[in-house]
Structures are given as C-alpha cells and as structure tokens.
Amino acid sequence: MKESARGKAAVGKERYSDARGYFDDDLCEFVITDMFPKRPLVNYLWSEDAVADADQFGFGKSLAGIGSFRRGLDCGERLVYIKDRKSGELYSPNRNYGRLPFEQFRCHVGLGYQKIVSVYNGLKVTFTLLVPDAGYAVLYLAEAEELAGKERDLDLYFALRPQANLTVHTSYGSADRDKEFGGLCYPHFSYQAETDYGCLYFASEHGFTSYCVSKGDFCGTYGSWEHPDGVAAQALPSRGTTFEDDYVAAVSLPLRLGPREQKSFAFALAAGRSAAESGALASSLAKTSVFYSQLALQKEKNASYQRVFRAEIPDPLLRSLGNTWLKRQLSLGKTWGRIYGKGFRDVMQDIAAFVSLDIPLARTRILYTLAKQYGNGNTIRMFEPDLLLPYNDGAAWIPATISAFLKESGDFGILEEIVPYLDGGEDSVLGHMVRGVEYLLGDLGSHGLVLLRGGDWNDSLNGAGNLNKGESVWLSLATVKAAKECAEILEKLGKKEEKERILGLAGRLSENILIKGMSGGHFIYAYDDWGGVIGGEESEEGKFYLNPQTWAVLADVGDRDTQNAVMDLVEEKLKCAFGYELCAPPYTKGSDRLGRVSYFVPGMVENASVYVHGVAFKIAADCRLGRGDLAFDTLRSVLCTNPKVQASGVEPYAVTNMFIGPDNPYRAGDAPMSWVTGSAGWLYRDLTEEIFGIKAEFDGLRISPVFPSCWNEAYAERIFRGVLYKISYRRTGRRRIAVEGSEIQGDILPPQTGKDSVAVTVEY
Amino acid sequence: MKESARGKAAVGKERYSDARGYFDDDLCEFVITDMFPKRPLVNYLWSEDAVADADQFGFGKSLAGIGSFRRGLDCGERLVYIKDRKSGELYSPNRNYGRLPFEQFRCHVGLGYQKIVSVYNGLKVTFTLLVPDAGYAVLYLAEAEELAGKERDLDLYFALRPQANLTVHTSYGSADRDKEFGGLCYPHFSYQAETDYGCLYFASEHGFTSYCVSKGDFCGTYGSWEHPDGVAAQALPSRGTTFEDDYVAAVSLPLRLGPREQKSFAFALAAGRSAAESGALASSLAKTSVFYSQLALQKEKNASYQRVFRAEIPDPLLRSLGNTWLKRQLSLGKTWGRIYGKGFRDVMQDIAAFVSLDIPLARTRILYTLAKQYGNGNTIRMFEPDLLLPYNDGAAWIPATISAFLKESGDFGILEEIVPYLDGGEDSVLGHMVRGVEYLLGDLGSHGLVLLRGGDWNDSLNGAGNLNKGESVWLSLATVKAAKECAEILEKLGKKEEKERILGLAGRLSENILIKGMSGGHFIYAYDDWGGVIGGEESEEGKFYLNPQTWAVLADVGDRDTQNAVMDLVEEKLKCAFGYELCAPPYTKGSDRLGRVSYFVPGMVENASVYVHGVAFKIAADCRLGRGDLAFDTLRSVLCTNPKVQASGVEPYAVTNMFIGPDNPYRAGDAPMSWVTGSAGWLYRDLTEEIFGIKAEFDGLRISPVFPSCWNEAYAERIFRGVLYKISYRRTGRRRIAVEGSEIQGDILPPQTGKDSVAVTVEY
C-alpha cells in the first residue's frame, strides 16, 4: 500500500472529462454527470459466480454461471421510487422519468459497484449495486438522507425484474411471499430441468409493508414503469401469482426521516435449489453491513490490481485506462468471456493479459480452459454453452498464454499439471500446448498453408473452408507465431529435439506463406475451398485485410522490408477517422463461398468495421517495427481522445468491440458493443509491454519502450516477481538502462531477489 | 342470402352484453366499449398465408406462414398519433395513453377485421386492420373525419414495429427509405438463411413527409411510446439505420381537414424475397380502395359460413357464439393450429368441425395434414415447425375427421386420393386411415392396452411412457372410438372382412379396458412404465381424470350403467364453479414417472385446470347419455354467462383453452389463453350436433336433439348437401319428426334432392 500511495501521488492531476462526466482516479471511478447521455453508459460487476451490468440508472441484467448453465437473475429496470405519503407525489431518484429538476445527479461507475446519487427537493437518495464475491446473487442498497432540515413522511418502493422463468412453460412458475424468511420467492422447477437452481429469492433487510410479484400488478395492465398503477395505489396488492411472462419483485417500506436523518435499505436477489436455500442466501446478504463489507472486498481486490502496473502517462485518458480501466475490462473477459459464452480464443487471450494481475487465478483459469481442447489438439470454439462448430484456430492461442504465465510467474510446475481433453484422455499442460501446435503444423492444404475449416479469428469467414480445402494465411501466421512461442518454452526446458522439429515445420510454413500467401505486395487472408483468393487484389471485394499484415510482423514472417511495406499499405488502404478498417473494400454481395461476413451490412463487424481487436494487433505490430508515433496515434484514434469516438457516445472508460466502419451508409463511427471484447487485453499489453516496453521474460523484466516522439519523459511502476520496479524514462537519444544507478547490458533487468523495490532509469 | 336473411330476422333481438361491450349480431361484431378492460380483448385475423392478432387498441403480432417457416411481420404497438401543428398537442386515438376524455370509443371486433373508432375534440379517427385474402402482408387503414365544423391543421403519424430481424445477427439487417417504391425497406438477408423472404416493406398510400425506422429514433433513447421524442420533434429524423434490435416503421403525413371533411390513409406491411418484390406487394396493397375491397371479401367469405348453421337460441351469448364466433375460432385452428405450430391432433379435430363450413377447403386441409403421418401409421406430434417427439395418439384422430367429411360431402372420392407419408412411401386416404387404426390396435403393452409412449392427448404426461411400457387407457378408448368410425366407413365401402378384423381387435381392446383399465369404479388414465397406476384411487395424487370417463361414453365402451356411473363420479369429483377439472386432486410433487404435468403449479394446464377441451368432451358425453340439462349447464359454465367467467376478463366471443383450476392458490378462474384451443370446434359440434342434434350421416341429416329442460322450443337452419333445412323444434313429450308435414321413420332425414329448402318439424 505504501508504494502504491507514493505512485499515485506522483501521477499528474489533470483528468479526462467530457460532457458526460469525468474520471476520479483517486477513487478509481468515472463519474457520470449527465443523466441522459446519447446512449446509456454501462458498467460491469462480477464475481466468479455471477455477473451483472448496469447503466447510469442502474438498469441492466445479471446472471449466474452455474456450471455451463447461465441462469438469469434480473433484467431490465431496477427502480427506486419515493412517494410522498400525503401528496402522493411520486418520482424515481435513479431514473427520473419526468426529468424533474434534480438538484444533483451523479452516477459513480466504480470497480465492482455502480452508485447512483441524486438530490431532489432536499432528499438525497443513493442507489448502489454490486455482485458479492461469491454466490449466485446480486445486492442492492438504497440509502436516503434528508438534507433540507425537514421532517419527511415518505414511502420508499424498490422494484426489479427477476428472471424467474427457466423454460417456455410458464405453468411451472409462481411467485409469492415466503413464510420462512419473509421475502419474495420465485420457484420454477421443471421436468428434466436444465439446472437444479430453479428458485429465485428476493430479500429485503427491513421487510416490507406491501409487495408485488408480477409486472401486471406493479405497472398495471395499461400502466408503465413511469406511471406504475401499483405505486400510485395506496399499497401494492400483496398477492402471489403464477403463469407470468414478466415477474417483478417490488416492495414498499415506510421512509420517515427527521432533519438530516439517514436510512438505508439493503436488498438481495439470489438463486438456489430450493426456497430454503435461496431464501437463506438472499436473507444473509440483504444487510447494509454485508453490503458495505462486500464493497470493501471489491475495493481491496481491485486495489491489488492497481499496484501491479501504474504509470504517469502524459495523456489523462490513457492514464485512467492503463492504470485502472483496461485491467478491469480484461478481467471481465478472463472470467466471463463474452458473457453470452466463452470463446476459447477469447478467454486464452484475456488470461494472457491478466496473468500479471493475479497469478494464482490466472493459473486456475488456464487449467480450466485447457480442458476445452480436444485430444487431436484442436479446441472447442466456445464453451458455456458449448458451440461445437469446426473452427480451427483455438490451439494457436495457447502458447502465448502459457508463455506469459511462465514468464510472469516463473512457475514451471504448471507445465506438469495434468488436464483432461474434452473428448477423453488427458495430458500435461506442456503436452496440451505441443499437441495443439503440432496439430496446426500438420493440418495443411494444397498450398502448404493451415486449413481454414469452419473459420479462424474471423468468425464470419465461415463459408470458405467447410469442404476442408480452404486455407488461411492468417491462421498460418498465427501458427508460426505459436510455434515460435512453443519452441522458446521447449528451449527453456532443454527439449532441443522437439524444439528443432517444431521450428523446422514452422520455417517451412513461413516459406509457404511468403510464396503462396501474398498477392499484390501484401498478405492475402485465405484461399477458399474452390481455390479463390480472399483478401487479394484479384478478389472482387474485400481485397485487403488488416490482420494478415499485422500478424506477419507479430509472427516475424518475412524480412523487415516486407513487413514495413505491408504495414505501409495498411496505412494507405485501411486508415479512417476512427482507426483502421478490418478489410476493404467491404463486401456488398452475399457469397456462400465466404460466409456470414459477406452478408453483413458494409461496415458491420468482420465486414469492414473498425474492429478494435484488429487495431490492437496493429498497434503491437507498429511497436515491433519501432513506429512509436503511429502506434500512439492509432491507440488514441480508438479512444475518446478522438472527438469522433467521443461523439459516438461510447463509454470513455471502456473499449468497444468495434466502430461501425466508414463505408456504412447509416451509422459509421457508432460504437454499440463496448466492454465485451478481447481488445482491452491487447490494448493493455500494447500500452504496458509495447509502448512502455515493460515485459516479463524468463530471465527478468525487459524494458524496451517505443514511445511517441511527443513523450520526452515518463514514469511507471511495475510489480514483477514480488519486486516493485520504479521506472523513470527520459529521452536522451541513446539507449541506456540503469538499475539503482548501475548500467546494465541489454534491456532485461536481471532478477532483483531480496529487494522490495528498485529504481530503474531508462534513457531512450 | 334470401334464406339467411329470413333466418336472421327470426332470431331474437336480445343480445349479450357486459361492462366491456356487446354483440352486434347483425354486423357479426362484438363491440368493445371499455377501452381499458381488465385484460386486453383479442381478435384474430388471417388468411391461408398470414395471421395477425389485435387487441382493443389494435396492438398485437402478425406472421406469415412460408412453408414451414414462420416469418414475423409486425409485433407490439400499432399506433396512430394526431398532432396539432400549432400547439404541438399530441395524442393517440387508438391507445389514449393519457386517458384523455374521449367523446367516444368503440372497438369493433369483426370477422376478419379489427376497427377502433374514437372521437376526441370533435375529430373522429378510425383505425382498421385486416389480413388480405392472399399474400404475406397486413393492411392498416387510418381514417380521420372532422365532426366539429372547424378547420383542422394536424399531422397524422403512424407507427408499427416490423419484425425485420430473422437471425440473432443484427449486423445482417438495415432499414431505410427505398427509392423504387418510396416506402420503407427492411432487408435481412443472411448466410444459410432459413427463408428466402428476407425483406419486409412498409408502404404508405400517400407517401410521407418524414419517416423513421428505429425505435431509438422514434421513441428516443429515453422516451417511450407514450412520449415519443420523434413525434414531439418538428419532424421524424428521416434516416436509415442498421444493427438494431427494435425496428420501427413510422411516418408522418399532413392532415388538413375542412369542416366535416374526411381523409383516409392506407398502409401495408409485406414480406418478400427482395426489396422489389416486397415493395411491389406492399405498394399494391396500401390503397384505401384495396382495403375496402379486401374488407368486402372478408365479409363475403364469413357470410357463407354464417348460412351453414343458424339457430334461434334462447340464450343470447350461445346464439352469438353458435351462429358466428365458434365458427370463426375453429376456422382459425383448422388453418393455423395453435399459431406457434400445428398439432396433428389439433388440426384434425378443427377440420372435423370445419367440414360443414367449407367442404373444398376442408378436403384440401385433410390431404395436406395426412402427409404428416408416418408410414408405420403413427403421426408427427406437430408440424410447421416439426416437433418429432414420439407422441402416440395422432392416428386416433383421423377416422372421425374422414367420417365427418364423407358424411357432410358424400364425396367418397377423397378416399382414393394418394397422399405421401412423412418418411417416404404413399397410400390412399383410406389406406392412411386404416394403417393408423391398425397401428394403434397393434401397439399394445402387457395389459393389452395401447402404449402411451411419449404421450397422448395429455401432452404433459410425457414422463410415463418413454420406456415403451406404459399404457394409456384414454388412448385405448380413443382407439376403440377410431376403430368403430373406421369400421363404419369400411362397412359403407363393402369391405366387410377388413371391417370385421378391426372391430374384432377393437372388441378385445374394449374388454381389456374394462378389465384392466378401471379402479375404484372409474376408468384410470394410464399405467406408467413401472406399472404404477395414473388416475386411480391408488395413485398418490391425480386420482381421478376427466377424459377417460367421457371417452368411455364417446367410444361406447362398457354398458350404459357403467357409463352413467363414471359420469356421476365426474360430477362428484371434478365439478367446480367454472366447469370441470381435468383431474383431481392436482399434483403437488414433481415426479419423473409422470412428467411435466406433475411439475406444473396446481391448477395449471394439464395439472387440474379446467381445460375446456376436456369440458367439451364432457358435454358431448352428457348428450350421448341424454343428460341435456347437465350438458347445457356445463356449456354455460365455461362461457361469460357464468359471472365467474365474465370476471376472469376473458373475451365473451372467444373460448379459452383453460381456466386456471380451483386449487390454484393464486389465479383460480383466470382465463389467460383464449382463441388458440381445440375447444371451439368441439363446443360448436356439441351445440349443433349434440344439443340441437343436427348431424350429417351417410344417408342423410340426423336430427336428434338433447335440449335442456328449460327449452320448450327452438329453431335452426342448416345447409346440408345444398339444401337448406329449416328446423322447428317443439317439446311435446314424444319424438316425432316431419318433413314438409310428412312424418318420417327414425331420426334421419332422407336426401331432399332437387329442393332448395325444406321445413322440418321436430317434436321431442
């Protein structure tokens, strides 16, 4: 804590802000000040058991991950209402439907919580959500504080929407007040149920005076959340129901406040295998004291992530993102994938970025995820729920993650851990990795390139390889990169023969890529099943793809001149006002020889959007080629420092999966898919490992910055193998690194055993 | 027309009405006068190509049946708004969100149309919907009429919600104004599309001054249908979009009216395989003249159905239902099944009730549906979309429908029509029927009863027979009934040997039912796979089931004393304030030896609801036993003549699938599932064939009424084989039938060839 406090003090005080709010780096918050921004601004809250999202009103959805089953908890409105008992006047402090003249509104987007604070008529109401550190549950806290020095005779209502129905048969479901714990119970137990967790339970710390369990009762048949008949009435109807599409958990409580008095109301929604189990859990969690201790846990956990890397960055937004928010976003990915499911490739990449933040948890996640590999070396496309399509790239992502883990932790024991295969059998972690690489190196087509099969990173090129003839240049490059990472580990283990064999195959694959994988001076994307070129000048549309160029650099295929040349073409062909297109020109004609990509509207997703994952690869490639200014400009072009990005309405604190591409006739530049993307992990590594150049290696910490020319000095702190490295950078025009004043050879700091911290000076 | 006009004049003028509205039998309408009834009151509109529902606001969903694919057209709000150009004042004449003091409101629930009329501030606005007689389309007509003698300078807005997305990939979809036809176009063409009909098109008769294609643009990010930002603004934003979850088709048009002036605006939504195809269709339909000619077509078609059976019924509600609305509801079933899919058994029953209304269409539907039978004689459970679960009762429904068709039409040629089997091969219609009966007669378990397999009529007893050991008493009874119906046809064809063989097997099955299928003086429902009794005194729950008792009567199994005894037990065990429970007591413990039924909340669906289909069987059984008062009371108990049914909020003009049973702790008596039920067809036949006793037979029209004791006279008209029978009933205490004054022997009127109409007097 001491160290990090010092580091924090050293960070400049200027902060990013825009019309919607500002970063409060001291509290690790983004504070939303505009209650009605262009589009809702979303936060994610999660544990290993449950995940929730919440916008600036606190609205959103939550679900529990019960094995591979996703059980909904709540979804949609989460509403506090305040009703004056005398006048009947009614408003919602966290939604303000009527756009009343609130004296104040703030939504504190926090690490592990979302807190909405409003003041109206001298009444301060705070509504906070969090997901507890364990359990299939979500917690809600409503706090009211009298500010005007008056007596208040109010009622507080709280309403949310339990996702009680687990099947289409609403006849299984009912809801009513429960006698044992006094909360509201929503059982839905079905024949041949997909989950045992058939019961939701809503608990209220202080009980309630009236309640309601259906939307019809709460809003009224012809009412709405804005004008709920139930709240307008004297009391909620307090009756059970069954056969509902829309359940509600709504309660009313008296809220009598003296001058300056404050009261708090904790609520919890939990899932369980019975009314008793879910009731016990929800009741134990619906306590103000529990809420605050859980809030403290969240802050503590996130503080430890803050300390691992902390930098003074002469760009306020990049500082908030790099020190805080990118870590948060990639941590979501490493546990929850893309929420709707966990892509093998996605989770592997997120873990690779996550290892420095929490080594034990990263280790657990690696072992868990490797069990989703088949015995032949290929992997599942997605798990939880399983998606069994024959995608072919999964194994290519394993070595980078294993390598990152080994280099960060020095824990080579993981390589001997035994992990089962998805379809039977088992092997060590090392065996998993090698088998995956050998699978890819052997799965070649007629051009000697790796088969595309159902698809690769480009999920939507899913019509080009199903006959098992189409070959992917990008996947071939990824395979070369994976083979080299694998070989580096084998070398470290002294397995020279295995290493040489893999490098030999990778070398031949590299040659094939250079001979068969280029056209018109750049790397093509693939050959389809009929031998047609995808991503070449001869292609009718989609003539130039981003990822094969950047991955040639990342895999170090071709000489430096070739790499520079193709990256120059990237600038020429793909650059737009908010990043780089994934391919150009977009497809306008659906083709079954390509797949989904060609049917997407131009500018959408893989069809020539600015796919930020691709942009993140490009930044890494820029850095590898020493193009610091390009890397920096590219990074800033996809963040809210770019006015066009800000105008899209995207959260300043979250990276979007894509910007709708410049060729889209309708919504070019819009950013509708934030948070849930592998971009965050890559951008974090771009910033920390490529731009700041701080990278774990087997033999120590490498420091090899590629700064933009506008940065003449910088400062970063990095905890590596228990030692805090305090790294001061200064531009001098010569490369020189000194540890505690002593110059070292090369750019790898040797292990600093026995020390708590060391000062490093880097000239560049 | 002459005849029916006379018939109509003879019908009494007293009408059913309640707080929600009244029947207008002259116009065949139910007129809703309460804009905000307890629950929405729904109407269905359909052709063979498309189906729509609409409540008293006109809200609802529509879809096209394209082969086995269900393509959504619109869903949810369908809104007319009127905006004063000067004041900006805004309201919706068909929804009245603000509950303004309308001078008038009427929703005319019509046969094939839904017309909402309101008057506010001297402006009459009429909003009418219909489904055209052909094509994947829905038509909307907004008409405005100045009543106050003033000049009006208004804007009219119309908005609906096209269901444009056909896949989860919203990146396939976009929407914008189309240049060719000037309407709004919503393409969603996808890789490996499930349907070619990837394009929706919205056309406006008079074009528009501004438009909007997304909910975000129309309602606003934080707006609503009640307060749409788009309508509040000077003009709609008139821009395209992509990647939307919620599309909207909204247009604004100037509405300048002089005193008493009237204007009309036609709109159409259509699906097609391209913008050109859907645009051409929608544009051709979006015309006031087309709307009115389509409306005339609807009325003409329904008028022909009206003439087939028309009765003076000394119960106004029964009269409206019997003469008009039951026909309408069963006609929906015969084409659209249960909307979400077409159950083989459901469609077969609906056709059986439909044959008298439209013989050629019934014939087409029979041939179409028989192609859903497997070569082994069993049938699919549901088609469009196909549900391949091993339900075992499908074949038992075939003979009754064939028999009804033959008796109504005299068209024995249908028996020689060749129809394919679902899994290959083909056979004549006769072969299909016989094969089905023989399949069932041979599919016996250890008690010599028919196997239950995946389930029978009781869809939710789906855990009891999957090991192919459980046997169904009900299905055995249904098989006996089917075998007898089949044998009657074979007899008529002179196929004595085949007939005798089938009757012999049916006789042995009947014996087994009487020996093994009874317990505690009543018929049990089934044996489960483990030999346990379902629906017997020895059962822990669900000790007594309705359907095996009623079907023993319908199948004429057991002697009359036995039949009377089990029906007496029905009165004792199952009667409640709004009909008869399907079983009792309800299941409270989920059991995998029973299936879904036991997990349902008590009182829900097959778990002891008042399932009206079961009640309809019971009415028929009452009549077979000559229990006219019981039949009549039972019929009235499930209709709005029963105050408890009226209180449920159910449509007076539509039969509900179920009433939530009396043992339900939450919603006993509620009727949430109207229209979509096989009950309507059975109740229609109960009323016409059992109570009025007018039933087609091979040799003529049988007249054998079973009236309640409170009816001393009645009158009915029935068209049968081209002759209008005008039947006057009078209670005299002796059975006597005279045709044109001449008494006949027996109760079958011989063919009246060469006559247009005959007068029949029936004493009873």
When scoring A42, A601, A656 by the number of chain B Cβ atoms within 10 A, the one with the most, hence best to mutate, is: A601
Token readout for A246 is 């829309």
Distance in angstroms (rounded) separating the CA atoms of residues B588 and B600: 8
Looking at the partner chain, which of A39, A243, A595 has a beta carbon nearest the beta carbon of B191? A595
Helices A398-409/A344-354 angle, 10° precision = 20
Average confidence (pLDDT) over A605-620: 98
- Binning pLDDT at 50, 70 and 90, where does residue A753 land? confident
Helix (H, G, I), strand (E, B) or coil at B663: coil
CB contact under 8 A, A242 and B601: yes
pLDDT at residue A464, as a whole number = 98
Q: Residue B17: enclosing H or E segment and its boundaries? A: strand B17-18
CB contact under 8 A, A664 and B171: no
Sequence-distant (≥ 6) Cβ neighbours of residue A388 within 8 angstroms: A380, A381
Can you give the three-state secondary structure of A247-305, one letter per residue?
A: EEEEEEEEEEECCCCEEEEEEEEEEECCHHHHHHHHHHHCCHHHHHHHHHHHHHHHHHH
Q: Quick one: how far is CA B679 from the chain centroid?
A: 8
Sequence-distant (≥ 6) Cβ neighbours of residue B617 within 8 angstroms: B546, B547, B550, B551, B554, B682
The per-residue pLDDT for range B462-494, each reduced to its tens digit, is 999 999 999 999 999 999 999 999 999 999 999
When scoring B242, B461, B656, B659 by the number of chain A Cβ atoms within 10 A, the one with the most, hence best to mutate, is: B242
Distance in angstroms (rounded) separating the CA atoms of residues A126 and A292: 14
Selection from A672, A601, A602 nearest residue B198 by Cα: A601
Question: CB contacts < 8 Å between A and B, how many?
Answer: 112
Distance in angstroms (rounded) separating the CA atoms of residues A471 and A451: 4
pLDDT at residue B8, as a whole number = 40
pLDDT at residue A314, as a whole number = 87
How distant, in Å, are the alpha carbons of A56, A220, B91, B230 from that of B227?
Answer: 21, 18, 9, 9
Token readout for A561 is 């001149």
Distance in angstroms (rounded) separating the CA atoms of residues A442 and A423: 20
Q: Quick one: how far is CA A694 from the chain centroid?
A: 22
Q: What percent of chain A has pLDDT over 70?
A: 98
Task: Give me the phi and psi of A390, to 5 degrees please.
Answer: -80, 55
The per-residue pLDDT for range A47-74, each reduced to its tens digit, is 999 999 999 999 999 999 999 999 999 9
When scoring B600, B664, B670 by the number of chain A Cβ atoms within 10 A, the one with the most, hence best to mutate, is: B600
The answer to whether residue A222 neighbours chain B at the CB level (below 8 Å) is yes
From B191, which residue of chain A is nearest by alpha-carbon distance?
A596
When mean pLDDT is compared across A5-9, A143-147, B132-136, B321-325, the lowest value belongs to A5-9
Average confidence (pLDDT) over A670-699: 96
Buried b (16+ CB within 10 A) or exposed e, B278-299: bbbbbbbbbbbebbeebbebbb
The answer to whether residue B660 neighbours chain A at the CB level (below 8 Å) is yes
Selection from B657, B686, B638 nearest residue B337 by Cα: B657
Q: Is the pLDDT of residue A585 over 50?
A: yes
Q: Is the pLDDT of residue A244 over 80?
A: yes
The answer to whether residue A36 neighbours chain B at the CB level (below 8 Å) is yes
When scoring A666, A670, A673, A674 by the number of chain B Cβ atoms within 10 A, the one with the most, hence best to mutate, is: A666
- Binning pLDDT at 50, 70 and 90, where does residue A274 land? very high
Å between A758 CA and nearest CA of chain B = 51
Distance in angstroms (rounded) separating the CA atoms of residues B532 and B543: 12
Dihedral class, residue B337 (left if φ above 0, else alpha if ψ from -120 to 50, else beta): left
Distance in angstroms (rounded) separating the CA atoms of residues A639 and A654: 9
Asked if A642 contacts A614 with a C-beta cutoff of 8 angstroms, the reply is no
Q: Is the pLDDT of residue B670 over 90?
A: yes
The answer to whether residue A38 neighbours chain B at the CB level (below 8 Å) is yes
The answer to whether residue B226 neighbours chain A at the CB level (below 8 Å) is yes
pLDDT at residue B407, as a whole number = 98
Strand partners, B107: B32, B116
The per-residue pLDDT for range B37-95, each reduced to its tens digit, is 999 999 999 999 999 999 999 999 999 999 999 999 999 999 999 999 999 999 999 99
From A242, which residue of chain B is nearest by alpha-carbon distance?
B666
CB contact under 8 A, A221 and B607: no
Distance in angstroms (rounded) separating the CA atoms of residues A199 and B630: 43
Selection from B575, B621, B12 nearest residue B317 by Cα: B12
Looking at the partner chain, which of B240, B463, B596 has a beta carbon nearest the beta carbon of A665? B240
pLDDT at residue B314, as a whole number = 87
The answer to whether residue B173 neighbours chain A at the CB level (below 8 Å) is yes
Residue type at position B176: D
Q: Is the pLDDT of residue B12 over 90?
A: no
Distance in angstroms (rounded) separating the CA atoms of residues A611 and B232: 36
Selection from A543, A544, A581, A573 nearest residue A658 by Cα: A581
CB contact under 8 A, A667 and B242: yes
Asked if A762 contacts A730 with a C-beta cutoff of 8 angstroms, the reply is yes
Å between B406 CA and nearest CA of chain A = 39
Helices B473-493/B546-554 angle, 10° precision = 20
Average confidence (pLDDT) over A464-488: 98
The answer to whether residue B89 neighbours chain A at the CB level (below 8 Å) is no
From A608, which residue of chain B is nearest by alpha-carbon distance?
B171
**Pairing, β A658-659 against β A610-611:** antiparallel
pLDDT at residue B653, as a whole number = 98
Distance in angstroms (rounded) separating the CA atoms of residues A622 and A631: 5
Buried b (16+ CB within 10 A) or exposed e, A720-742: bbebbbbbebeeeeeeebebeee
The answer to whether residue B164 neighbours chain A at the CB level (below 8 Å) is no
Strand partners, B72: B63
CB contact under 8 A, A191 and B592: yes
pLDDT at residue B392, as a whole number = 98
CB contact under 8 A, B172 and A592: no
Instruction: Look up tokens 């989609």; give the residue.
Output: A542
DSSP string over B37-102: -SS---EEEE-SSEEEEE-TTS-EEEEEEETTEEEEEEEEEEEEEEEETTT--EE-TTT-TT----
Asked if B18 contacts B6 with a C-beta cutoff of 8 angstroms, the reply is no
pLDDT at residue B303, as a whole number = 87
Looking at the partner chain, which of B221, B590, B666 has a beta carbon nearest the beta carbon of A242? B666
Distance in angstroms (rounded) separating the CA atoms of residues B727 and B718: 8
How distant, in Å, are the alpha carbons of B178, B210, B264, B342, B491 from that of B181?
Answer: 6, 15, 20, 36, 61
Average confidence (pLDDT) over B724-743: 96
The answer to whether residue B239 neighbours chain A at the CB level (below 8 Å) is yes
Instruction: Look up tokens 């910088």; give the residue.
Output: A714
CB contact under 8 A, A666 and B599: no
The answer to whether residue A664 neighbours chain B at the CB level (below 8 Å) is yes
Selection from B754, B741, B738, B727 nearest residue B10 by Cα: B727
CB contact under 8 A, A672 and B595: no
CB-based burial label for A6 (10 Å; 0-12, 13-18, 19+): middle
CB contact under 8 A, A600 and B39: no
**Average pLDDT along chain B:** 96
Helix (H, G, I), strand (E, B) or coil at A147: coil
Distance in angstroms (rounded) separating the CA atoms of residues B400 and B378: 16
Residue type at position A183: G
The per-residue pLDDT for range B172-203, each reduced to its tens digit, is 999 999 999 999 999 999 999 999 999 999 99
Q: Is the pLDDT of residue A11 over 80?
A: no
CB contact under 8 A, A596 and B190: yes
pLDDT at residue A7, as a whole number = 39
The per-residue pLDDT for range A317-376, each reduced to its tens digit, is 999 999 999 999 999 999 999 999 999 999 999 999 999 999 999 999 999 999 999 999
Sequence-distant (≥ 6) Cβ neighbours of residue A233 within 8 angstroms: none
Residue B465, number of CB atoms within 10 A of its CB: 28
Distance in angstroms (rounded) separating the CA atoms of residues B171 and A660: 10
**Average pLDDT along chain A:** 96
- Binning pLDDT at 50, 70 and 90, where does residue A172 land? very high
Q: Quick one: how far is CA A354 from the chain centroid?
A: 11
Å between B10 CA and nearest CA of chain A = 41
Q: Is the pLDDT of residue B3 over 80?
A: no
Average confidence (pLDDT) over A204-231: 97
Instruction: Look up tokens 């008293």; give the residue.
Output: B56
Alpha helices in B495-535 (DSSP H): 496-516
Selection from B398, B324, B405 nearest residue B364 by Cα: B405
Q: What percent of chain A has pLDDT over 90?
A: 96
Task: Give me the phi and psi of B640, to 5 degrees please.
Answer: -70, -5
Å between B171 CA and nearest CA of chain A = 5
Token readout for B117 is 């009329």
pLDDT at residue A4, as a whole number = 38
Distance in angstroms (rounded) separating the CA atoms of residues A693 and A309: 12
Q: Is the pLDDT of residue B7 over 50?
A: no
Average confidence (pLDDT) over B137-154: 97
**Pick the residue with more confidence: A1 or A199?**
A199
Q: Strands of B471-472's sheet, edge to edge?
A: B471-472, B526-527, B533-534
Selection from B210, B215, B172, B235 nearest residue B76 by Cα: B215
Å between A669 CA and nearest CA of chain B = 12
Instruction: Look up tokens 């997703």; give the residue.
Output: A605
Q: Is the pLDDT of residue B2 over 90?
A: no
Q: Is the pLDDT of residue A278 over 50?
A: yes
Distance in angstroms (rounded) separating the CA atoms of residues A143 and A159: 15
From B222, which residue of chain A is nearest by alpha-carbon distance?
A36
Distance in angstroms (rounded) separating the CA atoms of residues B344 and B379: 7
- Binning pLDDT at 50, 70 and 90, where does residue B11 land? very low
Average confidence (pLDDT) over B354-361: 97
pLDDT at residue A10, as a whole number = 42
Dihedral of CA atoms B520, B523, B525, B529 in degrees, nearest 10, equals 70
The answer to whether residue B191 neighbours chain A at the CB level (below 8 Å) is yes
Identify all chain A residues contacting B590, using CB atoms and an 8 Å cutoff: 189-191
Identify all chain B residues contacting A171, using CB atoms and an 8 Å cutoff: 600-601, 604-605, 607
CB contact under 8 A, A596 and B191: yes
CB contact under 8 A, A36 and B221: yes
- Binning pLDDT at 50, 70 and 90, where does residue B421 land? very high
Identify all chain B residues contacting A241, using CB atoms and an 8 Å cutoff: 666-667
pLDDT at residue B326, as a whole number = 98
- Binning pLDDT at 50, 70 and 90, where does residue B409 land? very high
